[in-house]
Structure 1
Amino acid sequence: MQLSRQTEEKLKKLKGYTGITPNVVARLAFFRSVESEFRYSPERDSKKLDGVLVLDKITWLGETLQTTELVLKMLYPQLEQKMLIKAWAAHVEDGVAAIRNYKNLKSITQAL
């Protein structure tokens, strides 16, 4: 699984500010996006998943693996696995936009 380069850069900056690793921030961003009612549209998706941080599913999702997969299948029952990964990446990108400007761990936890 991978993200776009732009999203990866935002995750790395957040790690620098907060100390939270990119995979954990990606989990927070995903659920933040789902809660905000963002919905992925394959027809409007032109983003390439060109990031260099390619991790396996368990590393990206950790203890949220089953929950994340269930949420994706609930929201997008018609999508195949490859497209579900793109949907996940789109949600991470959307969610990280909402939390990317926090400069420390305290401010990010208060916002969540």
Structure 2
Amino acid sequence: MLPNRMQLSKVVEEQLKRLKSQTGITPNISARIAFFKSIESGYRFDPSISYKLDGTLTLDKVTWLGKTQQITELLLRLNYQELDEKHLQVAWAAHVEHGISSLRNQKTLADFCQSILL
């Protein structure tokens, strides 16, 4: 379903790294949370809009998704049945970008946890 190696945009990657330095939560965990917050919000990826995956942090999908791999891929497939493997990766990255917007400014782990609950 998703390619074995995945990356995000440079901007999102920097936001995830900054969040790690402030809260201690690793980028892959933050990306998982951001993805599900985006899905939960009802956001829909528009494949007609150009989206660059230009980040340098390229990880395998097991690292990015962990135990959420199957449900992540299932949600992407249900929401974007018409997309191929490459475009599903872009949809995943767009959801992470959308979801991280509500998490990126948290200064402490407590703030981060509180923002997840909202």
TM range (shorter): over 0.9
Matched, 1:25 2:30: yes
Q: Cα offset for 1:98?
A: 1.0
Counterpart position of 2:108: 104
CA displacement at 1:47 relative to structure 2 = 2.1
What letter is aligned with 1:25? S
CA distance in 2, matches of 1:107, 1:51: 26
Q: TM-score, normalised by structure 2?
A: 0.92
> Percent of aligned pairs with the same residue?
56
Count of equivalent residues: 111
Q: Is the 8 A contact 2:102 2:115 kept in 1?
A: no
Structure 1 moving runs of 4+ over 3 Å: none
Answering whether residue 69 of structure 2 is matched by residue 65 of structure 1, we say: yes
CA distance in 2, matches of 1:110, 1:93: 19
Match of 1:10 among 8, 15, 23: 15
RMSD across aligned C-alpha pairs, in angstroms?
A: 0.6
1:25-104 correspondence to structure 2 within 5 Å: 25-44=30-49, 46-104=50-108
1:63 to partner: Cα distance: 0.7
What residue in structure 1 maps to residue 3 of structure 2?
none
* SS of structure 2 residue aligned to 1:66: helix
TM-score, structure 1 length as denominator?
0.97
